[in-house]
Amino acid sequence: MKSYELREKFLSFFKEKGHAVIPSASVIPENDPTVLFTTAGMHPLVPYLLGAKHPEGKRLANVQKCIRTGDIDEVGDTTHCTFFEMLGNWSLGDYFKKEAIAWSWEFLTSEKWLNIPKEKIFITVFAGDDDAPRDMDSYNYWLSHGVDESHIFFLSKKHNWWGPAGTTGPCGPDTEMFYDTGKEKCGPDCSPACSCGKYVEIWNDVFMEYNKTAGGKYEPLSQKNVDTGMGLERTITVLQGVESVYDTDVYQGIMNRIKQLADKEYGESEEITRAYRIVADHIRTSVFILGDQKGVTPSNVDQGYVLRRLIRRAIRFGLKIGIPEGSMPEIAEAVIDQYKDIYPELDENKKFVVDELHLEEKRFQRTINQGLKEFSKLIRKLGNDVKVIDGASAFRLYDTFGFPLEFTQELAAENGFTVDVEGFEKSFRRHQEISQAGAAQRFKGGLADHTEETTKLHTATHLLQAALRKVLGDEVMQRGSNITKERLRFDFSFSRKLTKEELEEVERLVNEYIEQDLEVVCEEMPLEKAKASGALGLFDSKYGNMVKVYSIGDVSMELCGGPHVKRTGELGRFKIKKEESSSAGVRRIRAVLLEK
């Protein structure tokens, strides 16, 4: 079966079961300042999982483009990718375990659908603990479909629980479906819990029936949801009976192009195979980031930094297999060819994607060879005694030769060295003075654009949200924001057009807050405390427990990565340029700051 058939089958199956098919959201989250990328199908649906009404109804199905860079070091094995597509079906307070399990089983095993032999499928179910009981319902549903007891494993929360995405919020037990690759067991205890590769997870049905509170309690949710995720790449690997995701049709055109460009043979050695796969994976992900055209280009902050790291890492591994300089755009074209029928935006934005890759490659090519030489000199100088690269040297590689920190860390590790990250951050801060957030944190998220103009507009956005809520009520919640040097764009939930009077009042209020020259205070606190104190924001960050909360006088309190001005008096005059509809139930305001 080809990958396009899997997508089609999945969506038609769930259409038959009364689901509305919704499009993939962007890989760049629209309404969540706390994460850099859409990491799972549930991410763009969080407001609906929390009870907001979805315009398409209570049963949804989709294929979501996702990016997860947490496992970037694993890329190059048989299953890990930084970009992947997740097939999902969703019940927003509609059906629950019985139907979800029945449909998963039918889709996987029925001749009409995937026709996977039943004996190849293994199941895991939540074993129960002090927080929530053993999931006997799921267990019994599986048995009722004829799954043999010996194929069902009860596992702990570590394995069979999903969410909350942050520290509080909707979550619940899950039941996962694995495919037995037929490899030998790695030992007597080998089970789907083990990562030896015998069992590959292909689908996860999450039953969101609890809300984890700030106090760490699991309370039953009034709306019980189903969130399922089937990894397209992994499932197609199984269906095509190939060794790795890179040997499936989703990668075929891309791998072929790399083979033409490289002077080393794929499969020649483990190291070469890994390098091939890293180039393929990283350029594929870069194309999807650029292809959404959300203003992300290679840079030293936020998503741009991740993008830069991916491209530069691809170039470095490309060198290992003899890919000539300037080839990344060609590989990108192969990615676009592969996906343009499914994601037309890639083809529509082709020129932009290719140009950006070309530029970034040129920027890096200018310095990479010199940087690599510099690096070799450095480790020769340090010799066998000191196995640590000091912060100032790592910073020089970053600043002068464009080596992302993680890149230097990898090179160091390959040579048995480590890097003094704290020292690097110190130099970084001294030179840039842009943020207290650690440079190493940037890969996970943190630093925002720090020009004076955008900083002011960030603060203005908080004031705007506060004023809108004051004038229009608590229905107003941020749905997205986008800031350039010139203007801010703010999307928020509200059901109708604003009147002229309302807009004037909002503008007047913001200017009043500016006149009052309110102090802007940033506090770091645990997510739970932020939530309990009433700060606004989407509490579904997957990254760490500490968050930043910005307060402006007693006008506004929001979860935000910053940066912000020190006092509102710095902002100038606030002017709304336009108010319009953005999508169903969401309004959009564009505004600027003018000189006083």
Shorter beta-carbon distance to ligand SER: residue 34 or 204: 204
Nearer to ligand SER, 204 or 511 (CB): 204
| CA triple 81-481-32, angle to 5 deg | 45
Task: Give the span between the Cα atoms of 332 and 287, in whole angstroms.
Answer: 6
Q: Judged by CB, which is closer to ligand SER: 19, or 548?
A: 19
CA–CA separation, 515 and 60 (whole Å)? 47
Tell me the closest approach of the beta carbon of residue 275 to ligand SER, in angstroms. 28
Q: Round to whole Å and give the CA distance between 232 and 226.
A: 19
Distance CA 69, CA 448 (A): 18
Nearest residue (CB) to ligand SER, 171 versus 549: 171
| Minimum CB distance to ligand SER, residue 563 (Å) | 31
DSSP3 helix / strand / coil % (the chain, rounded to 5): 40, 20, 35
Q: In this complex, which beta carbon is closest to ligand SER, that of residue 32 or of residue 227?
A: 227
Nearer to ligand SER, 38 or 427 (CB): 38
Which of 70, 322 has the CB closer to ligand SER? 70
Contact 337, 329 (CB under 8 A): no
- Smallest gap from Cβ 79 to ligand SER, in A, equals 14
- Name the minimum Å distance from CB 221 to ligand SER: 15
The rounded distance, in Å, linking the Cα atoms of 332 and 349 is 12
Q: Decide whether 90 or 428 has the Cβ nearer to ligand SER.
A: 90
Residue 328 CB, shortest distance to ligand SER, in Å, is 30
> Do residues 537 and 525 touch, judged by C-beta distance below 8 A?
no
Residue 232 or residue 457: which is nearer to ligand SER going by CB? 232
What stretch of H or E contains 526?
A: strand 520-526
Cβ 20 to ligand SER shortest distance, Å? 17
Sign of torsion over alpha carbons 461, 463, 468, 474: positive
Burial of residue 93 (CB within 10 Å: 0-12, 13-18, 19+) is middle
Beta bridge partners of 225: 92, 208
**Please, what is the minimum distance in Å from the beta carbon of residue 417 to ligand SER?**
36
Alpha carbon distances (Å) from 522 to 243, 511, 547: 50, 21, 10
What distance in Å separates the CA atoms of residue 182 and residue 198, rounded to the nearest whole number? 7
Helices 350-382, 405-414: crossing angle, 10 deg rounding? 50
d(Cα 127, Cα 145) in Å, to the nearest integer? Answer: 20
Tokens 């037995």, located at residue: 180
Output phi, psi for 449, to 5 deg: -55, 140
> Residue 478 carries which DSSP code?
E
User: Which residues contact residue 519 at a Cβ distance below 8 angstroms, ignoring those fewer than 6 apart?
Assistant: 552, 553, 566, 567
Closest approach, Cβ 66 to ligand SER, in A, equals 8
Give backbone dihedrals phi and psi of 419, rounded to 5 degrees, phi first: -120, 140
Give the separation between CA 249 and CA 236, rounded to whole angstroms.
8
Give the residue among 126, 107, 142 at the shortest CA–CA distance from 10. 107
With 0-12 CB in 10 A as exposed, 13-18 as middle and 19+ as buried, what is 359? Answer: middle
- Nearer to ligand SER by Cβ, of 227 and 528: the residue is 227
Smallest separation, CB 86 to ligand SER (Å): 6
Q: Cα 565 vs. chain centroid, distance in angstroms?
A: 28
Residues at the site binding ligand SER, with contacts judged by CB under 6 A: 40-42, 88, 162, 204, 206, 227-229
Residue with tokens 């055109």: 253
Nearest residue to ligand SER, by Cβ distance, number only? 229
Q: CB nearer to ligand SER: give 204 or 338.
A: 204
How far apart are CB 201 and ligand SER at their closest, in Å?
9
Could you give the maximum distance between any two Cα atoms of the chain, in Å?
Answer: 74
Beta bridge pairs of residue 88: 62
* Shortest separation between residue 260's beta carbon and ligand SER, angstroms: 35
- Residue 170 in 3-state DSSP? strand
CB of 88 to ligand SER, least distance (A): 5
Q: Provide, rounded to whole angstroms, the least separation between the CB of residue 162 and ligand SER.
A: 5
- Name 464's Cβ contacts closer than 8 Å, sequence gap at least 6: 488, 490, 506, 510, 574, 589, 591
Residue number with CB closer to ligand SER (96 or 266): 96
User: In the complex with ligand SER, which residue's Cβ is closer, 542 or 587?
Assistant: 542
| Min CB(374)–ligand SER separation in Å | 41
Cβ proximity to ligand SER: between 42 and 279 the closer is 42
